[in-house]
Structure 1
Amino acid sequence: MKSHVKVLVVGGGAVGCGIALHLARAGWETLLVERDELTAGSTWHAAGLLPLFNMGYATTHIHDYSVKLYAELEAQTGLNAGFTRCGNLRMAQTDARMDEYMLYSATAETVGIEHEFLSPRQIKDRWPLVRTEDLKGALFHPTDGYINPADVTQAMAKGARMAGAAIERKIQVNAYKWTGSEWIVTCEKLVEKGGNLVGSGETFEIRAEHVVTATGNHAQRTARLLGIKIPAIPVEHQYIVTEPDPALVKWRAEGNPEHPVLRDADAKWYVREERGGWILGPYERNAPARFLYDVPDSFRADLFPLDLERIEEEYMSMIHRIPSSETVGLKDDFNGPICYTPDGNPLVGPAPGLRNMWLAEGFSFGITAAGGVGHYLTQMMVEGEAEIDMASLDPRRYGGWMTTEYAARKNEEAYEHVFILHHPDEEREACRPLRTSPAYDRQKARGAQFGHVNGWERPNYYAPEGFDDHASRSFRRGGWWQYAKEEAEAIRNAAGLIDATAFAKHTVKGPGATAFLDWLTTNKLPKVGRINLTYALTDAGTTRTEYTIVRLAEDSYYLVSAGAWAAYDGDHLVKSAQDFMAAGGGYVGIQDVTTQWGVFALAGPASRDILAKLIRDAQPETALSNKRFPWLSAKQIELGMVPVNAIRVAYTGELGWELHHPIEMQNHLFDRLMEAGEPLGMKLVGARAQNWLRQEKSYRAFGTELGRDATPLEAGLDRFVDLSKDFRGKAAMQDKGIRSMCVTLLIDGPQDADPWGREGIFLDGRKVGRLTSGGYSVAFGKQIGMGYVRPDLAAPGTRLKVRMFRDLWDAEVAEDSPYDPQNARIRVDG
């Protein structure tokens, strides 16, 4: 066995083998170790489905790559993986479900996933065994299908070996140690004893520059060995196999094609043919999480007892949908662990706090994802970044506040929600509220309808007493829409108060702080008392994160970034500071102060008058004037009894301030602001109205317009990039050139819906780009969106189309910041 390799992959399921295949093909010396046999984890009992349907842009690309790879594996390796391309029919019983499919269609179209819509009559004509009279229609993927999980894993393993990788079985990793340049991985040979795998006492070390963990059900053990948190915990998933169905046997004997994989999403199951019978896989309620801390040594390629009562409703609905299945008996059953994460997306990318340690954990659709994850993770490791933005799957999207209990309960919820309507405005309820700002109860009493960001409760909008947020969710304009519109109008016409406490906040201090930030970020650093918007780049030259930098002193800075990315940003800051100091830079201290400071954003024409009632100053009448408190500056002020670090900036494009305050004083400040603001027309405002307003100003947002697949220059942020200085990623950014451009579109869309930021952009019937954000503009009285198009189509006035609900709607490229392009309202004096 090799003792020194470029990369060690830990875990020999489909995901691990897919990663080993691609790393080996990229030329890296690769060793994979598996504690049992290849496929002994969840791979062996997986149903092998290959669903292309996914609402996420990155995950759709991953699944698409996998399906294309699997179709070629036999030619590449000589092994038949049992790939059956029978198609996938996703049925809808309700209009809302069809709306979901149409939104998905917009995402699929941007990736190039082949699909079509079918009517109930068309379904019945093609597959007469399916009952259709209660259906609204269906979405059909002709390139979808299923594969033998064990065979595809073995085929990828053979491909990895053919490319030079080594694969060793019955090897358990017991310890990881980072030396500063490589990992020393302590391993033990396992032997079978009484049906169990036990340690042989034979230990040895493997040295590897990089390690990838793909340990599946054993992720919690991996987390303990690494000293980190990995919120990947399995949930029971059961499926049953029926005896042959005479009607199906006859159908096939007559020369008819195999049925597509059938999915009745409203009934929460999938069904496919299996040797003349049917496989039924439900996603039922109350499926429990398992192995919260450890997988027992006795649990190998094993299963749990079947719980038929738990899936009775789904079983009866299969009989309803396929009436011929009523008389067939059960042939086999499976109930095994399938890993989940709190949001249902896998964890793919760098491990928090560790160097050259990569995670590939938490795959609920591991067979579908294995090939694509191998491809894109290899790009990240070998080339510095993937060609698509993988931030939505980054393991650092979860912070250290997360516990085992939280992960287990949220993973159970994610399992249950596989077939529950995926409204773009959905807010799942498990484990909430957990992280709350002090003003949470006050806001709730005033009608706040909360969403959650990185565990924080954040008002989405405010509604009257008795309003049901869950019932208001829709793929069109939900019941909340009118309240968000009123909030947006309040900021444009009077004032609004937004709780922005969830913002990520870090301090950067020390003798090396200035040189460090100058190297890390693209813009000039602000002078003391001033602020700048700036960007940190990936080594591939794309946008790593966005910061508002407040310069507190010569070598002291306060950085504000998106609340959803606190751990992601903190990890990057710490690792980058370590790199800087290791290269001879001065000392830099990084501290996460997110939970120390609350934030209220006050914006609107009346915001200065509201603060004037509260400010304590020797000359209160001029304290908030442009001369004493100019735009893009920061000052320490007193509002009533609260010391506030005030920043004159507003994400909504109006006169405004961010009021950063000691979090323990938040309730006092909230009460004083409400007393001062309500007589002047101030309303409490949530995140949805804010999102609309920032698009009217063409303010890019990280995670939508800003990501690891585009540079700041492509995002149209040239004014925040100082090309006269050297900064991390500069040369790579310039080498990228301008492949596409970010634009703001005003859209003449349907009367009852707004874009969600997933839709395709078209010219003459051909796709030329995609939206990344969408909403409604109160200033223009129509839909608005932001997205990327070909550079030649980015000029203001260009007429394009946006796909919404299968129709193309007129859209026009607006000038950047179509609302108040000269920023006169932001700069207004008083």
Structure 2
Amino acid sequence: MQTHVKALVVGGGAIGASVAYHLAKAGWKDILLLERDELTAGSTWHSAGLLPLFNMSYAASHIHDYSVKYYKTLEEETGLNAGFSVVGNLRMAQTAERMDEFMLYASTAETVGIPYEWMTPQQIKDKYPLVHTDDLKGAIYHPTDGYINPADVTMAMAKGARLRGVTIERKWQVDGYRWTGQHWDVTCTKMVEKGGNLIPSDEQIIIHAEHVVTATGNHSQRTAKLLGIKIPAIPVEHQYICTEPDPALLEWRKQNGEHPVLRDADAKWYVREERGGWMLGPYEYGAPARFEYGVPDSFRADLFPLDLERIEEEYMSMIHRLPTSETAGLKADFNGPICYTPDGNPLVGPVPGLRNMWLAEGFSFGITAAGGTGYYLAQMMVEGEAEIDMASLDPRRFGDWTTTEYAARKNEEAYSHIYILHHPDEEREACRPLRTAPCYDRVKARGAQFGCVNGWERPNYFGPKDAPEGFDHDSRSFRRGGWWQYAVEEAKAIRTGVGMIDATAFTKHLVRGPGATQFLDWFTCNKLPKVGRINLTYALTEAGTTRTEYTIVRLAEHEYYLISSGAWTAYDSDFMRRAAEDKMAEFGWIDIHDVTTQWGVFAVAGPKSRDLLGKLGKDADPATALSNKRFPWLSMRNIELGMCPVRAVRVAYTGELGWELHHPIEMQTYLFDQLMSAGEDVGLKLVGARAQNWLRQEKSYRAFGNELGRDATPMEADLPRFIDMSKDFHGKAAMEATGVRSKCCTLLIDGPEGADPWGREALYEGDTKVGRLTSGGYSVAFGKSIGMGYVRPDLAVEGTKLKVRMFNELWDATVTCDSPYDPTNATIRKDG
């Protein structure tokens, strides 16, 4: 067997076969795929093979769309029929709110180019008379969708990989990984059959691999132990049943062909044809996680004992929706493991802390995602970056704080939430609260309603402690939810008075050492600030797109405090450390510390913020301590607020006069009490993340993960003022070569009454789709909806009239100037 390879793919399911195929197609030679058993022996063999295009994630939608198109090409290339039945997918809605969800999804689908059609209950009945429609509101139909034979498509991809030079070896198990500094030494053991079990033999080899991709599915916990990392991918039981042939279905097929896949989201199931009968796959509550600590050696292509009582409700609802199915007896039933992650998205990308080690794990919709995952992961590995932003799938979105127990419980939740209404303001409750700032109990007592960011509890808004009768803080909506009125008042408070936001979840790094200055000057695209000053800057990918946004505070000549998004701590830390390691020989020693949990942060903003801090500050000249002369905009000062030392940074993400108060985390409750007491005289109001999100859009402040990401350069984000083209920096040449393919802009929107965009909607010029929103919300300054997004460069001009798709209609939107609220920054620079 080959022992020196460019890439080793570990795992012979649909994901592994696709990764090997696409690496070879991208031009890499010497690719080896190892499978410990037989190809498809994991979850692939018992998968239902559905190919749902419906997905609220922009990246996942691209992945699924690629898969569906790619699978249709395999037979011509390989001569093997992948078993793709393009029968369409009818997703039905029992409620008006479910139709709202479909309409939001449809606008997202338009941005990707996924075709869909709308159907009324009568149209459904006319076309598919076996479906009971009296209690339906409508449906969305995907004509290009359907289902595929999981084993057949995997074998077709495997053959395609072999035709492109990939070697595939079965019955080899990986038992160890060792990084030599140049490549991976991978210890592999030959597996042999004995008494129906698969056991290790005495035969071992070491494979030297420049790159390794793990696609080990249910065995990901074993992979994690071998690598010394955490992989929050744990399987959950999934049951489905198949009926005997349904005579009514067989009769219908004589004139109509195969029946489309049905999904009744409100009933929590999918149904498709299976040899003249029906296959029912429910996503019920109570399905348990399995293999939290590894798959038993005796478990191969096996199944779990059935628990049909758990899915009785879903079975009865299938009979309600398809009345003729009641007479079709049960023929087969399955209960097998399917991997999940805490947020339901797979883990695709580099392993934190390791070189040339890549994950393709945690796929709950593995067949749907396999083709696209191989394609985009190969782009990352071969070209340095994918053409779409893959951050939402990056393994580093989960930090080391994620434990096995956390992953198991959250994965069970993710399974049971497959068919719930996926509101954009959805907050899931399992494993919460877990990470809390010291002030958590204090803000909760004042009405805080929390969201969860990277495990941190963060106030979304502050509702009444004694809610009015009938008000439900947990209610969600695709329109303006019950929280909306409170967020409006919070936003107004910052615009007219003073508000305080708990921003403790911000990611914070200390970077220092003799090589720190030269490193950061190369690592980021803006000029470095002088000592005591700050700058906003960006780190770029190899493709010249935006990898991370940093606020850099220069503490000393070679000491810097970097602030970045709270959702991406491990993601930012790993990227910076890798880059620093590569440059130490050139620049000198660079010391990097993640100090996120050492510093709490309160953001104080509004015209009265100086008055608030003046009540606590002690200074030789209190009247001018916070003045522009003593404390100018974009500067940092070490101040004292009562007995609390504070690293005060004069910035405000809301676009008002304000400060970020970075303080020792152990003093947070003391500082909170002092600020609240001082705030009584100036009307201090606690403010949540939703109001802050609206306010930053009024200032056209880009948000990482929305406007800023790995699919657009800082120039495309229209941020030339933060790019120093006179210096050399990482990604500069690629950024220049890319040019401006699309451009970020801010839009004021005359949308439907009682609703605002969420940042997932398509933008039109007339009948032509020209871009998409990446953020959305409400503007208290302009009294209408607001959004930010990307359009063709020629349209990103103030005054351009566009349309935005909301609730299946086009609404007027006008491109406004950058920073429509206070474009001259007069309020931020307000003197005192």
User: TM-score per shorter chain, which class?
Assistant: over 0.9
Q: 2:625 aligned with 1:623, yes or no?
A: yes
CA-CA distance at 1:585 after TM superposition: 1.7
1:130 — aligned with what?
Answer: 131
Q: 2:611 aligned with 1:609, yes or no?
A: yes
Given that residues 8 and 211 in structure 1 are in contact (C-alpha distance below 8 angstroms), is that contact kept between their aligned partners in structure 2? yes
Deviates more, 1:462-471 or 1:185-194: 462-471
2:714 — aligned with what?
Answer: 712
2:307 — aligned with what?
Answer: 307
C-alpha distance in 1, partners of 2:651/2:474?
36
CA-CA distance at 1:571 after TM superposition: 0.4
Given that residues 473 and 482 in structure 2 are in contact (C-alpha distance below 8 angstroms), is that contact kept between their aligned partners in structure 1? no
**2:758 aligned partner, one-letter code:** W
User: How do 1:139-154 residues align onto structure 2 when only pairs under 5 Å count?
Assistant: 139-154=140-155
Deviates more, 1:437-446 or 1:467-476: 467-476
Identity of aligned residues (%): 77
1:294 — aligned with what?
Answer: 294
2:551 — aligned with what?
Answer: 548
1:81 — aligned with what?
Answer: 82
Given that residues 469 and 480 in structure 1 are in contact (C-alpha distance below 8 angstroms), is that contact kept between their aligned partners in structure 2? no
CA-CA distance at 1:257 after TM superposition: 2.3
2:423 — aligned with what?
Answer: 423
Q: 2:535 aligned with 1:532, yes or no?
A: yes
1:451 — aligned with what?
Answer: 451
Number of equivalent positions: 828
Given that residues 473 and 483 in structure 2 are in contact (C-alpha distance below 8 angstroms), is that contact kept between their aligned partners in structure 1? no
Q: Aligned-residue CA RMSD in angstroms?
A: 0.7
User: How do 1:313-712 residues align onto structure 2 when only pairs under 5 Å count?
Assistant: 313-467=313-467, 471-582=474-585, 584-712=586-714
CA-CA distance at 1:465 after TM superposition: 2.4
Given that residues 20 and 161 in structure 2 are in contact (C-alpha distance below 8 angstroms), is that contact kept between their aligned partners in structure 1? yes
**2:613 aligned partner, one-letter code:** L
Given that residues 253 and 259 in structure 2 are in contact (C-alpha distance below 8 angstroms), is that contact kept between their aligned partners in structure 1? no
2:285 — aligned with what?
Answer: 285
2:256 — aligned with what?
Answer: 256
Given that residues 449 and 469 in structure 1 are in contact (C-alpha distance below 8 angstroms), is that contact kept between their aligned partners in structure 2? no
1:777 — aligned with what?
Answer: 779
**2:583 aligned partner, one-letter code:** F
C-alpha distance in 1, partners of 2:421/2:490?
27
Given that residues 757 and 777 in structure 2 are in contact (C-alpha distance below 8 angstroms), is that contact kept between their aligned partners in structure 1? yes
2:13 — aligned with what?
Answer: 13
C-alpha distance in 1, partners of 2:629/2:367?
62
Partner SS for 1:825: coil
Give CA deviations for 1:440-494 in whole Å, capped at 9, x if unaligned: 0000000000000000000000001254655421000000000000000000000
CA-CA distance at 1:211 after TM superposition: 0.4
Given that residues 347 and 393 in structure 1 are in contact (C-alpha distance below 8 angstroms), is that contact kept between their aligned partners in structure 2? yes
Given that residues 23 and 378 in structure 2 are in contact (C-alpha distance below 8 angstroms), is that contact kept between their aligned partners in structure 1? yes
User: How do 1:37-186 residues align onto structure 2 when only pairs under 5 Å count?
Assistant: 37-186=38-187
C-alpha distance in 1, partners of 2:446/2:140?
42
Gaps of 5+ in 1: none
For 1:792, which of 791, 794, 801 is the aligned residue?
794
C-alpha distance in 1, partners of 2:606/2:405?
42
CA-CA distance at 1:806 after TM superposition: 0.6
Give CA deviations for 1:70-97 in whole Å, capped at 9, x if unaligned: 1111001000011000000000001110
For 2:761, which of 750, 759, 762 is the aligned residue?
759
C-alpha distance in 1, partners of 2:514/2:21?
46
CA-CA distance at 1:27 after TM superposition: 1.8
C-alpha distance in 2, partners of 1:10/1:364?
18
2:803 — aligned with what?
Answer: 801
Q: 2:745 aligned with 1:743, yes or no?
A: yes
CA-CA distance at 1:678 after TM superposition: 2.9
C-alpha distance in 2, partners of 1:687/1:637?
26
Q: 2:41 aligned with 1:36, yes or no?
A: no
CA-CA distance at 1:256 after TM superposition: 1.5
Given that residues 87 and 143 in structure 2 are in contact (C-alpha distance below 8 angstroms), is that contact kept between their aligned partners in structure 1? yes
TM-score of the superposed pair, with normalisation by structure 2: 0.99
Gaps of 5+ in 2: none
C-alpha distance in 2, partners of 1:49/1:377?
22
C-alpha distance in 2, partners of 1:595/1:759?
36
Give CA deviations for 1:38-80 in whole Å, capped at 9, x if unaligned: 0000000000000000000000000000000111110010000
Partner SS for 1:824: coil
Give CA deviations for 1:129-157 in whole Å, capped at 9, x if unaligned: 00000000001000000000000000000
CA-CA distance at 1:248 after TM superposition: 0.8
CA-CA distance at 1:619 after TM superposition: 1.1
Partner SS for 2:575: helix
C-alpha distance in 2, partners of 1:640/1:205?
63
**1:56 aligned partner, one-letter code:** S
**1:453 aligned partner, one-letter code:** V
C-alpha distance in 2, partners of 1:200/1:573?
42
C-alpha distance in 1, partners of 2:378/2:512?
35
Partner SS for 1:680: coil
CA-CA distance at 1:733 after TM superposition: 0.5
Give CA deviations for 1:412-460 in whole Å, capped at 9, x if unaligned: 0000000000000010000000000000000000000000000000000
C-alpha distance in 2, partners of 1:471/1:708?
33
Given that residues 63 and 372 in structure 2 are in contact (C-alpha distance below 8 angstroms), is that contact kept between their aligned partners in structure 1? yes
Partner SS for 1:665: helix
Given that residues 777 and 786 in structure 2 are in contact (C-alpha distance below 8 angstroms), is that contact kept between their aligned partners in structure 1? yes
Partner SS for 1:827: coil
C-alpha distance in 2, partners of 1:458/1:234?
29
CA-CA distance at 1:620 after TM superposition: 1.0
2:820 — aligned with what?
Answer: 818
C-alpha distance in 1, partners of 2:679/2:89?
55
Partner SS for 1:472: coil
Q: 2:230 aligned with 1:229, yes or no?
A: yes
User: How do 1:266-281 residues align onto structure 2 when only pairs under 5 Å count?
Assistant: 266-281=266-281
Partner SS for 1:614: coil
Deviates more, 1:420-429 or 1:465-474: 465-474
CA-CA distance at 1:617 after TM superposition: 1.0
C-alpha distance in 2, partners of 1:649/1:744?
21
TM-score of the superposed pair, with normalisation by structure 1: 0.99
**1:404 aligned partner, one-letter code:** T
**1:596 aligned partner, one-letter code:** Q
CA-CA distance at 1:529 after TM superposition: 0.2
**1:760 aligned partner, one-letter code:** A
| Distance change >3 Å, CA 399–CA 296, structure 1 → 2 | same
C-alpha distance in 2, partners of 1:6/1:723?
36
